[in-house]
Amino acid sequence: MSSPKYKLRYKIPKTHSNFLVSTVDISPDGKLLATCSTDKTIKLWNLTNSGILLKSTLKGHNEGISDIIFSPNNKYIASCSDDLTIRIWDLKFENTIKLLKNHTFHVNVLKFDNRSRILISGSSDENIRVWDCKRGRSMRTLSAHSDPISSLDLSFDDTIIVSGSYDGLIRLFDTETGGCLKTLIYDKEGSSFPISNVKFSPNSKFILSSSLDGVLRLWDYMNNKVVKTYKNLSNNPIAEKYSLGTNFIIFNGESMINSGDEFGNILFWDIQSQELLFSLKASENQSPIMQVKSYNNGEFLVSISLDGELNVWDYIG
Amino acid sequence: MNLSLHDPQFITADFPTTLNMTLSYGHCTSLQISPCGHYIASGLLNGAVLIIDTWSNNVTSILQNHSMPIVGLKWIYYEDQTNDQFDDDNIVVGLVSWSRDWKVCLNGLKKHTMKLEWECTFPGGIWNVDIINTGRINPISKVWQDWKLIICKVEGGICFVKYNKEYLENQDSNKCIIPLNDNDREIEGDEGYTLCCCNFFGGRYVITGTSKGWLQIIDVIQCKILKCFKACNGNIKGICIVERGFYEENELKFGSHIVPISRMIVNSSDRILRQYDISNWYELGDNIEDWKFDIEQKYQDVVNRIQWNTVKFSPTGEYVCASTQSGGGAAHDVYVWETSMGSLVQILEGAHEELIDVDWGMRSSNGNVCCISANGMDSGTIYMWGVRAPQKWSALAPDFEEIEQNIEYIENEDEFDMVGAGGNILNEDGIEIDKTFEKIKIVDVVSREDTDARGFRFIRGCIIDTNLDN
């Protein structure tokens, strides 16, 4: 393995005291971080030159929060919870401006479109919903999965939704019509494993999927083919239990992908050679790295562990 | 990106066929679809201009610059193809509107919000406005500079309006106005009032139509009429031009790569639409004296003798659509013709009132691959015709295929083998998966396609913020 290309800048060991933390997000201007937890709160953190300072705590959900996402226009943050609701919060006044209800089970994942007018949610009720943010109403429901939705992503032009579900399928939907465009399934080695994460490549021609057989796969979806497979060292799984976030790192001419694992590390692979390049230790107590978010395709990274350890990493080349 | 996954037969649909959306946000008197297809600008009877989002059908913003019905609207769009940075500095988005209160307003997009850049009242009113130069955003001062418009006034003929620094300082809108050099032509002379205008040659020239059926070609730089041509005896109500894009290296790269022939269509009150093949203009270049007006097609309804309200080309110029004026037994339809043979290919029905303004969207919107919008005169409803993607059931599983008829299938000996002779797992083509192959194959995850599945260039488009609070 080569030497790490990222260096720890800041660290907060317990973001939500003893509660479990599900994810982290970076605001589009890179100045704000948000974490959410089973303690039913969202915490907003100022990322400054002197450290990470707690800005405020958003309270309103009645159950644990599974996902949060900043709107691309930097005005709102959306959160989804086990209380079956989605809330859109105004970042300036820090209050709930929209409460989206219609899911019938835990809401797991959220995504904003580039124009911050449409929100897409995936739920354990096996549906994906497309929400009109202004009216606060569900525009359409995509019911093509037969198990909870674990992950969603949008193509760069917002026209395709990709979804991953525990039913083992990756489906592509037309955002504008809601029709299913394609289905991908990896069942070459017997049965298919639940899909825990999906992510479009920067040009949206490939999809990086994580499945609970502990492997990442890069799909050329036009040709229904897996073109690359990324594995952990000595056949250890990457993830067998949790939906861990992945990223494409293309900052400064790099060509890497990364993912957290369930033992407190962030793993980095070379996209082309599939070689594991280096890993970063992002948890003291080997807690799963639930999410790694990158700013500007890898200028800096923010990672969060299930125990709530928040780390900020700088690219050092 | 979604188009490449649709049925090829569906994405090659050239013109809309079915009415699939109506929007009633106030009484629309004029409309235009934005170049990126994400928004429709709708001018209302009370002078407001709505920006309607075509994905969620919400009003994203309301521009209150006029106090009387909006007569016309035009989007301005320019993006710097050489600069990949997605920010406001290299994308110019504007909207020009003119209304019955004699006012022309120019709005520009700043920080995802439409802001008034310039306005001026022209006593007597305005017939038509067109954009000559989209201008650029100054990267340092962030000011939108060098935009230029042409205005056909009711009193005083044509004038140009140009960005002027002094306007920003003392708000004197007259500082921006440049009159036409040929003063004697401005007063109603032999050629009549100038009623409409359309720029071409990338804004180098403007063609105008007059109340006595004359077409005039105006040189923008010299501000002078260079050529006149008598096209008909009626009023010229509208002109539409599609330009073919050509030689990238030695300049002249306006127009579009997907337009086969440069064409012009002239709408006149004599109930005939005249379509000209103007490719010879581009071949002859600046020898305007030699430019010919070759009529390629004439469109008219001989039976009902319908007048046409608005006429618009499709993005490629291969089709043209027109709204019909009521009276004389005419139905309230939009007619679509194929331009090379001149045959009527579609009549878009469904509106139970006369349709005024028509626009053919450059890009798909609202899930349609192509889109024609028109507004009704009585209710002010916006009608949208499109082509909806059919649901493909074969999309629901990777190995489903839709076939026309049954195929007798003969299974190969090793067809369903999971493991090949070499002991490796087989891929779907029956070839053993070679793990070293995955290593060698280079995948490009960064570079994007320049064009979509139909050959339309990807544009970054604009983002107009929706305010969630109100």
- Residues A120-142: tens digit of each pLDDT: 999 999 999 999 999 999 999 99
Model confidence at B428: pLDDT above 70: no
B243, B200 contact by CB (below 8 A): yes
- Six-digit token string for B96: 């020009």
- Chain A residue at shortest CA distance from B418: A188
B265: containing domain: 11-388
Closest CB to B398 among A160, A184, A222:
A184
- Chain A residue at shortest CA distance from B87: A73
Q: Is residue B128 part of a domain?
A: yes
The amino acid at residue B385 is W
Model confidence at B188: pLDDT above 60: no
DSSP one-letter code for B184: H
Return the pLDDT at B187: 47
Q: A116: which chain B residues are within 8 Å (Cβ-Cβ)?
A: 463, 465-466
∠ Cα B95 B97 B100 (to 5°): 170
Most confident of B162-171, B239-248, B272-281: B272-281
Put simply, the answer to whether B441 touches A160 (Cβ < 8 Å) is no
Closest CB to A274 among B425, B439, B445:
B439
Return the pLDDT at B246: 57
Which of A93, A140, A157 is most worth mutating to test chain B (most B CB atoms within 10 A of its CB)?
A: A157
Closest CB to A134 among B58, B438, B449:
B58
Question: What band does A54 get if pLDDT is binned at 50, 70 and 90?
Answer: very high
SS3 of residue B246 by DSSP:
coil
Question: What band does B149 get if pLDDT is binned at 50, 70 and 90?
Answer: very high
Q: Is residue B351 part of a domain?
A: yes
Model confidence at A239: pLDDT above 90: yes
Return the pLDDT at B87: 62
DSSP one-letter code for B371: E
Put simply, the answer to whether A160 touches B458 (Cβ < 8 Å) is no
SS3 of residue B440 by DSSP:
helix
Q: Is residue B434 part of a domain?
A: no
* A42: nearest Cα among A31, A30, A34: A34
Return the pLDDT at B252: 60
Which of A205, A219, A246, A297 is most worth mutating to test chain B (most B CB atoms within 10 A of its CB)?
A: A205
Which of B54, B55, B394 is most worth mutating to test chain A (most A CB atoms within 10 A of its CB)?
A: B55
Question: What band does B143 get if pLDDT is binned at 50, 70 and 90?
Answer: confident
- B104-113, B235-244, B247-256, B456-465, range with the lowest pLDDT: B247-256
Question: What band does B148 get if pLDDT is binned at 50, 70 and 90?
Answer: very high
Q: Taking the CA of residue B400 as centre, how many other CA atoms within 13 Å lie in the half-sphere pointing to its CB?
A: 12
Q: Is residue B419 part of a domain?
A: no
Task: Give the CATH number of the domain where residue B116 resides.
Answer: 2.130.10.10
* Window 155-184 of A, Cβ < 8 Å to B: 155-157, 159-160, 172, 174-177, 179-184
Average pLDDT of chain B is 84
Put simply, the answer to whether A134 touches B465 (Cβ < 8 Å) is no
Percent with pLDDT over 90 in chain B: 40
Closest CB to B438 among A115, A134, A274:
A274
* Window 11-70 of A, Cβ < 8 Å to B: none
- Work out the minimum CA distance from B89 to partner chain A, whole angstroms: 16
Give how many domains chain B has, as a whole number: 1
What is this structure's pTM? 0.89
Which of A91, A97, A113, A117 is most worth mutating to test chain B (most B CB atoms within 10 A of its CB)?
A: A117
Q: Give CA–CA dist A138/B175, Å, rounded.
A: 50
Place of tokens 């022309």: B104
Model confidence at A85: pLDDT above 60: yes
Q: Is residue B87 part of a domain?
A: yes
Q: Is residue B421 part of a domain?
A: no
Q: Taking the CA of residue B78 as centre, how many other CA atoms within 13 Å lie in the half-sphere pointing to its CB?
A: 20
- Model pLDDT for residues B20-30, shown as the tens digit of each residue: 889 999 999 99
Q: Give CA–CA dist B79/B94, Å, rounded.
A: 12
Model confidence at B93: pLDDT above 70: yes
Q: Is residue B17 part of a domain?
A: yes
B257, B245 contact by CB (below 8 A): yes
- Work out the minimum CA distance from B86 to partner chain A, whole angstroms: 11
Put simply, the answer to whether B468 touches A88 (Cβ < 8 Å) is yes
- Chain B residue at shortest CA distance from A200: B445
Arithmetic mean of pLDDT, B3-12: 80
Arithmetic mean of pLDDT, B230-255: 78
A110, A79 contact by CB (below 8 A): yes
Put simply, the answer to whether A160 touches B1 (Cβ < 8 Å) is yes
Task: List C-alpha distances in Å: A165 to A21, A128, A170, A210, B321.
Answer: 21, 10, 7, 11, 45
Q: Is residue B411 part of a domain?
A: no
* Window 235-294 of A, Cβ < 8 Å to B: 248, 250, 255, 271-274
